């Protein structure tokens, strides 16, 4: 969170081409959240996040900017489609469930961080259990360990006979040997038996109105009363170590502490990305699904403005959650949304259509560009795939041209074209180890040109 806006934009540039205005806006919004943490408590309560609305056609990077931003900052992040929610009383999901999803995401982040803190102790305990499985204690010692006080007396050398003392010394020496072998990785393929406990999974009741909040209570009650089923599993030491490490980590964790930390993280650093917000603009013909669209906006308004939502981990305030909305707004305008909802997205950013030069950059510059992805995939078959500059230029030209003639789907057009271009090679690659395939302008024309000439076929395929 201590990244400056300039550093955030530089990191986003590694994965997303262009759209500088949108990158600057989200970078400032994220930095403002860090600034808010530095001010005194009285002022901190007054500072609210400046929510952002991204406006632009599909495939230009709206979702990718928000997703990469969350990964970069380590903030709890969820992406939801506005169209999956309906007004309370209609069949569908309640808008409050987005906040519950955010808390679950935050819980995963906090739990992962806490597990790292206790990992060393958990590994020690897991290894102790593995040693017990590989070399169970002698019968008397094993019996004594059932009770702490008896165990202490039984382990006292003064209370052991000479034979028992010899057995104990030999047992301890063997345990040390096994422990050293485990640490050296010499027993990874040995088999051990583990008893696992599972509870029955409660039946999902479906998307009935109001049922989501009830499910929280049902699930909690069910977890307490449902009988456990015990299963014996034979695992290798390597597999058992991971299983035991997870068990021991969970035992060392403080659940209440994790839940309260997750709620605090979600409240102060959470990001909710609402996609397709233009699809909940009510049309002039009020019928069918349109009836609930205005209602979704009404239900969404208090969450974006700031309210308290009940989750199974506690109450969550949304006053300082950052909301980023996105929509193409082909058939409507942001001004068609409810005025109150418009006011909660003070920052408006318009993302531009992609040009041919943008497509060239998308194919070459990002760390995980499509050309690099296909090269890596073909390398697994020992086929060397090489893209020449004129080949990339031809690919970008076709993508831009097809987007102009047909539906403009932005950078997603490159996926369809690349698949058509390399379909034959992908199929035959296992039979061509050691070959080198050069993708130049001529290669691209051979594979794509005929397809583009047949307009009906290109509409269907591309």
Mean pLDDT on 116-120 = 88
Nearest to 19 by CA among 406, 333, 411: 411
Same domain, 244 and 181: yes
Domain count, the chain: 3
* Residue 148 within a domain: yes
* pLDDT, position 299: 85
402 has a pLDDT exceeding 80 = yes
- 410 phi-psi bin (left φ>0, alpha ψ -120 to 50, beta other): left
161 has a pLDDT exceeding 80 = no
**Window from 149-153, 268-272, 404-408 with minimum mean pLDDT:** 149-153
51 has a pLDDT exceeding 60 = yes
Of the three residues 333, 350, 367, the one that is the final residue of a domain is: 350
Confidence (pTM): 0.75
End-to-end, the C-alpha distance of the chain in Å comes to: 41
* pLDDT, position 189: 78
CB-side neighbour CA atoms (13 Å) of 85? 27
Distance CA 296, CA 442 (A): 52
* Residue 180 within a domain: yes
Helix (H, G, I), strand (E, B) or coil at 372: helix
Same domain, 414 and 433: yes
DSSP 346: -
Helices (H), 74-161: 97-134, 139-144, 148-155
318 has a pLDDT exceeding 60 = yes
Same domain, 396 and 332: no
Tokens at 48, concatenated: 């609210």
Confidence of residue 95 (pLDDT cuts 50, 70, 90): confident
Of the three residues 350, 374, 409, the one that is the final residue of a domain is: 350
Q: What is the mean pLDDT of the chain?
A: 80
**Which whole-number Å values give the CA distances from 39 to 34, 42, 47, 408, in the listed order?**
9, 8, 10, 45
196 has a pLDDT exceeding 80 = no
* Residue 409 within a domain: yes
Contact 240, 192 (CB under 8 A): yes
143 has a pLDDT exceeding 60 = no
Mean pLDDT on 14-26 = 86
Tokens at 397, concatenated: 């030209």
* Residue 144 within a domain: yes
Same domain, 17 and 45: yes
Expressed as residue numbers, the domain containing 398 is 356-451
**Which whole-number Å values give the CA distances from 31 to 4, 21, 24, 110, in the listed order?**
7, 15, 11, 21
* Residue 310 within a domain: yes
Cα-to-chain-centroid distance, residue 320: 21
Same domain, 362 and 342: no
Q: Provide the β-strand partners of residue 195.
A: 232
Angle formed at CA 305 by CA 304 and CA 308, multiple of 5 degrees: 85
Same domain, 90 and 117: no
User: The domain that contains 428 carries what CATH number?
Assistant: 1.10.8.60
* Residue 461 within a domain: no
* pLDDT, position 146: 44
Q: Which residue bears the tokens 């102060």?
A: 268
Alpha-carbon Rg for the chain in angstroms: 30
Mean pLDDT on 389-417 = 86
Nearest to 387 by CA among 414, 427, 353: 414
Could you tell me which residue, 65 or 206, shows the higher pLDDT? Answer: 65
Same domain, 247 and 276: no
Q: Provide the β-strand partners of residue 227.
A: none
* pLDDT, position 87: 66
* pLDDT, position 91: 59
* pLDDT, position 355: 86
Write out pLDDT tens, residues 320-348. Answer: 999 999 888 877 888 888 888 888 898 88
Same domain, 224 and 321: no
Same domain, 77 and 126: no
Contact 110, 80 (CB under 8 A): no
* Residue 459 within a domain: no
Mean pLDDT on 82-102 = 78
* pLDDT, position 17: 84
| Residue 275 CB contacts under 8 Å (≥ 6 apart), including other chains | 62, 63, 79, 80, 81, 82, 325, 326, 327
Confidence of residue 145 (pLDDT cuts 50, 70, 90): very low
Pairing of strands 314-317, 308-311: antiparallel
Distance CA 410, CA 59 (A): 4
User: The domain that contains 42 carries what CATH number?
Assistant: 3.40.50.300
Confidence of residue 350 (pLDDT cuts 50, 70, 90): confident
Same domain, 426 and 382: yes
DSSP 88: B
Q: Which of 93-97, 197-201, 258-262, 295-299 has the highest mean pLDDT?
A: 258-262
223 has a pLDDT exceeding 80 = no
Helix (H, G, I), strand (E, B) or coil at 146: coil
Nearest to 121 by CA among 248, 282, 272, 5: 248
45 has a pLDDT exceeding 80 = yes
Same domain, 311 and 369: no
209 has a pLDDT exceeding 60 = no
* pLDDT, position 144: 47
Of the three residues 255, 272, 291, the one that is the final residue of a domain is: 255
Tokens at 35, concatenated: 């600034």
* Residue 462 within a domain: no
124 has a pLDDT exceeding 50 = yes
Mean pLDDT on 261-273 = 90
28 has a pLDDT exceeding 60 = yes
Same domain, 122 and 136: yes
Contact 440, 388 (CB under 8 A): yes
Confidence of residue 376 (pLDDT cuts 50, 70, 90): very high
Nearest to 168 by CA among 128, 135, 190, 134: 135
Mean pLDDT on 398-403 = 85
């Amino acid at each position: 969170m201590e990244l400056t806006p300039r550093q955030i934009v530089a990191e986003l540039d590694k994965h997303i081409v262009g759209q500088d205005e949108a990158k600057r806006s989200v970078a400032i919004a994220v930095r403002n959240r860090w600034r808010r943490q530095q001010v005194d408590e009285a002022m901190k309560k007054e500072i609210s996040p400046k929510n952002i609305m991204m406006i632009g056609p599909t495939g230009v990077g709206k979702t990718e900017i928000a997703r990469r931003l969350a990964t970069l900052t380590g903030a709890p992040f969820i992406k939801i489609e506005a169209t999956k929610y309906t007004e309370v009383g209609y069949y569908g999901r309640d808008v409050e469930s987005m906040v519950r999803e955010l808390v679950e995401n935050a819980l995963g982040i906090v739990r992962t961080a806490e597990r790292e803190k206790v990992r060393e102790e958990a590994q020690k305990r897991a290894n102790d259990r593995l040693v017990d499985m590989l070399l169970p204690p002698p019968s008397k010692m094993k019996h004594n360990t059932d009770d702490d006080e008896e165990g202490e007396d039984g382990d006292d050398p003064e209370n052991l006979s000479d034979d028992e003392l010899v057995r104990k010394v030999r047992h301890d020496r063997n345990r040390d040997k096994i422990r050293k072998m485990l640490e050296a990785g010499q027993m990874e393929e040995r088999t051990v038996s583990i008893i696992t406990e599972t509870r029955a999974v409660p039946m999902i009741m479906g998307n009935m109105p109001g049922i989501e909040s009830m499910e929280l209570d049902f699930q909690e009650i069910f977890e307490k009363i449902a009988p456990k089923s015990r299963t014996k599993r034979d695992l290798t030491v390597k597999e058992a170590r991971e299983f035991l490490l997870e068990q021991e980590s969970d035992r060392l964790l403080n659940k209440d502490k994790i839940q309260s930390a997750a709620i605090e993280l979600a409240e102060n650093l959470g990001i909710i990305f609402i996609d397709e917000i233009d699809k909940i603009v009510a049309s002039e013909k009020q019928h069918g699904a349109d009836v609930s669209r205005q209602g979704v906006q009404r239900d969404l308004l208090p969450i974006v403005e700031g309210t308290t939502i009940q989750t199974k981990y506690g109450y969550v305030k949304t006053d300082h959650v950052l909301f980023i909305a996105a929509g193409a707004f082909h058939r409507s305008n942001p001004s068609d949304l409810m005025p109150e909802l418009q006011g909660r997205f003070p920052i408006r950013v318009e993302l531009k259509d992609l040009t041919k030069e943008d497509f060239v950059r998308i194919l070459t510059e990002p760390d995980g560009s499509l050309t690099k992805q296909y090269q890596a995939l073909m390398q697994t078959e020992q086929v060397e795939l090489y893209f020449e500059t004129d080949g990339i230029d031809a690919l970008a030209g076709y993508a831009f041209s097809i987007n102009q003639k047909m539906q403009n789907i932005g950078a997603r057009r490159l996926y369809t074209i690349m698949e058509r271009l390399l379909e034959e090679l992908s199929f035959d690659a296992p039979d061509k180890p050691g070959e080198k395939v050069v993708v130049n302008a001529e290669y691209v024309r051979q594979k794509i040109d005929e397809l583009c000439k047949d307009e009906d076929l290109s509409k269907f395929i591309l």
